[in-house]
Chains A and B, each alone.
Chain A
């Protein structure tokens, strides 16, 4: 049973426009969420995080929104750049004495120049 879902396997966006990547989760105990970016032949790199006590966190061009009632988070990239083309993973954790994250299946973003 997939506890963290990214229902869009791929997304294409024009350079300069907004990219919106979505993530849904089923476990209401999750209280910390992260987004990672992965280029081919490299390991994932941390992008941005959000705690369940917040509904928004912003870092430069990247903003993550959390809707706890809908069990949904989204990553907004504005403006999108060709260098943002990568696979994006969301991850969720319930810190109850463990350090485990559950990762989604990933969304491949392609930003068209």
Chain B
């Protein structure tokens, strides 16, 4: 079974703090993704990575950066947290050679910025 784990289920941070969200997958997947989920807006892609040290911006990258130093780990960084970054953050991974290209998701991190 593919397992995608996220470092925290719940996180509370103050405005202006630097925040790190960690994601680890154990299935040797090349592709990894960070989304945020907000009511009425669905899942929106922040960044994705298709290889170590490779990254591409998604649809809403502003205010975020990412790091992928190892294949199994993909980190999302909020350089200076703001209240509008309060959200559910979901990490996912996929294998580009699988026919279905389905993405496997972690359980999510609910981040509150006060």
- The interface of chain A, by Cβ under 8 A from chain B, is 4, 6, 9, 32, 34, 36, 41-46, 49, 89, 91, 93, 95, 98-106
- The interface of chain B, by Cβ under 8 A from chain A, is 4, 9, 31, 33, 35, 40-45, 48, 50, 56, 58-59, 90, 92, 94, 96, 100-108
- Is there an interface contact between B42 and A43, defined as CB atoms closer than 8 Å? no
11 additional contacts, CB 8 Å, given A95-B101, A99-B94, A100-B58? A9-B40, A34-B102, A36-B105, A44-B90, A46-B104, A93-B101, A99-B96, A102-B45, A102-B59, A103-B35, A103-B43
- Other-chain contact of A105, B40, B45, B102, B105 (Cβ < 8 Å): B40
Q: Within the assembled complex, what's the spacing in Å between the Cα atoms of A44 and B104?
A: 8
- Asked, given contacts A43-B107, A99-B31, A100-B58, whether A49 binds B100 with beta carbons under 8 Å apart, the answer is yes
A–B Cβ pairs within 8 angstroms, 30 of them = A6-B42, A9-B40, A32-B101, A34-B100, A34-B102, A41-B9, A41-B107, A42-B107, A43-B4, A43-B106, A43-B108, A45-B105, A46-B102, A46-B104, A49-B100, A91-B43, A93-B101, A95-B101, A99-B31, A99-B50, A99-B101, A100-B45, A100-B48, A101-B103, A102-B59, A103-B35, A103-B42, A103-B43, A104-B42, A105-B41
